[in-house]
Amino acid sequence: MRDYSSARRLLLLAMLAGTACTEGGKTTPGVSEPASAATLGGFPCVHFEQLRPFLPEDLEGLARGREGGSTGRYGDVSVSETERTFTRGEEREVKVRIVDTSLGSKLGLAIKAAADEGRNRARNDPTAPIFWKDAVGFVRYDETTGLAEASLLVGDRYVVAVSSRGYPGTVEVRRVARGIDLEGLARLHQSPGGPDRQGKEHPW
C-alpha cells in the first residue's frame, strides 16, 4: 500500500471519517428539525437529498444494502452526506459516499496534493491517481486486506469516496466512480431562497 505524507493523510481521515453517515434513521447530533432542500437558504451545503440521485441505483452482481444520509451543523462545520452500500454475501462489498461540507476547500487541497504526489506513477499502477474532466483524486489499495478506496474531488467542491472489499486491485472502485454522473454533480449548486436552517437526517 502506497502512503502519503502523514499530515495530509491524517487530515483526510479526520474529515472523511469524522462525518460518517448514520444509518437506520438514527438522529444526527447537533441538528434541528428537518428542512427541505428549498428551505435551507443560506446553509452552505446542498441538502443530502440533492446528492442522493448521484449514488448508483444498482451494481451488477451485488445486492443493494444499507444506505443513509444527513444534513446538519456540528459546531462551526456544516456537512451534507449520503451513502449507499452494495454487497454479495460476506465476500464482496462496495460503498459509495458523497459529501458536501464547509471544510471542502481544505479537503479539496488535500485531495489534490495527494493526487499530484502520484502523478508520475504508471497508468497500470493500482494506486495511480485520477485526473478526469470533472474530478481529481487519489487511490489507495491494501493487498493484505483487499481493501481499495478512491477519493475524488468533483467540481472543485464535492467529495466522492468509493471503497471496495473483496476485489483484486482498484479496478472496481475506478469503474464505479466512472459510472457516476460526475459532470452533473459538478454542476450541482444549492438552490437559493428561504431562511438559513439546519437540516436533519431523513430516513429513506
Best CATH choice for the domain 6-187 from the list 3.40.1000, 1.10.10, 3.80.10, 3.40.50: 3.40.1000
Residue 155 or 191, more confident: 155
Residue 94 or 74, more confident: 94
Beta bridge partners of 33: none
Residue 15 or 49, more confident: 49
On the question of pLDDT at 1 being above 90, the answer is no
Residue 40's pLDDT is 47
Residue 12 or 69, more confident: 69
116-144 average pLDDT score: 94
Locate all alpha helices (DSSP H) within 31-181, ordered by sequence. 48-51, 104-117, 171-179
As a whole number of Å, the CA-based R_g of the chain is 17
What is the pTM assigned to this prediction?
Answer: 0.77
Residue 16's pLDDT is 52
Residue 84's pLDDT is 97
CB 43 within 8 Å of CB 78: yes
Q: Model confidence over 45-71: pLDDT tens digits?
A: 999 999 999 999 999 999 999 999 999
Cell 489499495 appears where? 141
Cell 474530478 appears where? 135
Residue 189's pLDDT is 74
Out of 32-41, 51-60, 108-117, 165-174, least confident range: 32-41
On the question of pLDDT at 152 being above 80, the answer is yes
**CA separation for the pair 157, 67 (Å, rounded):** 22
| C-alpha separations of 137 from 68, 99, 100, 154, 167 in Å | 24, 14, 16, 9, 20
**CA separation for the pair 142, 151 (Å, rounded):** 15
